[in-house]
Structure 1
Amino acid sequence: MKTFKKIVYWSLIILALIQFIPVDRTLKPINQKENFVVVFNTPKNVEQILEKACYDCHSNETVYPKYAYVAPISWSIQHHINEGREHLNFSEWGKFNQDLKKNMLENSARSVKDYSMPFPGYISQHPEANLTKAERVLLVDYFEGILKSGKY
């Protein structure tokens, strides 16, 4: 029993200490001229879907939940956000070259179609991000419409 108490004691000490390891949650300012929804004059219904299901990981408009401030959970969340922004950042759309934009649109349409996005782990904590079939079709059609126009 003594060993168990020591393990619990030191685990709590370590858990308390790791709270002081910083996580960079700095949000970059958004240049509206580069913002996806502004560039394409996105309809409100599509914009709302993007905001509820995509923006926390794929934009500079992340809204961090309270649990995102507790280590080690905060590390995992920030890692997923950084990775999401690397693959697609709606806030910085205007900075990308044509080939990258085309690739991001194709990947986005495919990911929404095959239910790999929004990320299942994200949906478990944010049920509002669980898109209906109709919302998925609307989003895919929107991305594919932009691709067909060639004006991305």
Structure 2
Amino acid sequence: MTRIILFLLLIIIVAIQFFQPEKNENGGRKSPDEITGLYTIPANVQTILKQACYDCHSNNTRYPWYAGIQPVGWLMAAHIREGKKELNFDEYGAYSSKRQRNKMKRMKEQVTAGKMPLSSYTLIHADARLTTGQKELIANWIDSTLELHTGDH
């Protein structure tokens, strides 16, 4: 009986490999609504955002080798969809002015409180772990951006 169960489990594991989720990749094409088209982002802040945020909050995810193994790929795809729904740097310009400001404020809160990037992400992506200095850089950039653009909206 144990052999039959193990055999069936093996068949299921192999079968689910044929059902791959859609990848979150746009070939590196720039979006007209990209946040960098709206705001000046210092190179050091942009580097931090790309390393720590863009995999879940843009239209370009850097996939690790294990993303092709199911059910891990499905879980990652769901997580990315959720992250992009909350904030997408590539579609930021399509947000209303009020929503843009709210997203900036929320991003600052999440980063300074250590809630973003998620610990489940930084566990595997060590380069996404933010130092106190990096958090301060992001917070200062957000503050200066909000201050500069408050009169525009």
Query: TM-score scaled by structure 1?
Result: 0.91
- Give CA-to-partner distance per residue, 1:113-140, whole Å, 9 cap, x none: 1111001100011011001110011111
How many pairs were matched up?
150
Question: Aligned pair 1:13/2:3, yes or no?
Answer: no
Correspondence for 2:133: 134
SS in 2 for 1:131: coil
User: What amino acid sits opposite 2:44 in the alignment?
Assistant: N
Correspondence for 2:108: 109
Q: Is the 8 A contact 1:33 1:39 kept in 2?
A: no
Shift of 1:26: 4.5
Shift of 1:33: 3.5
Correspondence for 1:76: 75
Counterparts of 2:126 and 2:30, CA distance in 1: 29
Q: Is the 8 A contact 2:33 2:92 kept in 1?
A: yes
Identity of aligned residues (%): 31
SS in 2 for 1:33: coil
Q: What is the RMSD computed on CA atoms of the aligned residues?
A: 1.6
Counterparts of 1:28 and 1:100, CA distance in 2: 24
Q: Is the 8 A contact 1:53 1:118 kept in 2?
A: yes
User: What amino acid sits opposite 1:140 in the alignment?
Assistant: A
SS in 2 for 1:111: helix
- The match for 1:4 among 2, 5, 13 is 2
Counterparts of 2:54 and 2:24, CA distance in 1: 15
Deviates more, 1:19-28 or 1:115-124: 19-28
Shift of 1:141: 1.4
- The match for 2:22 among 15, 21, 24 is 24
Shift of 1:38: 3.3
Correspondence for 1:95: 94
Q: Is the 8 A contact 1:23 1:74 kept in 2?
A: yes
Higher share of residues assigned helix: 1
Q: Which runs of 4+ in 1 moved over 6 A?
A: none
Counterparts of 1:4 and 1:33, CA distance in 2: 57
Deviates more, 1:141-150 or 1:112-121: 141-150
Q: Which runs of 5+ in 1 are unaligned?
A: none
Q: Is the 8 A contact 2:20 2:74 kept in 1?
A: no
Shift of 1:32: 4.4
Counterparts of 2:121 and 2:6, CA distance in 1: 30
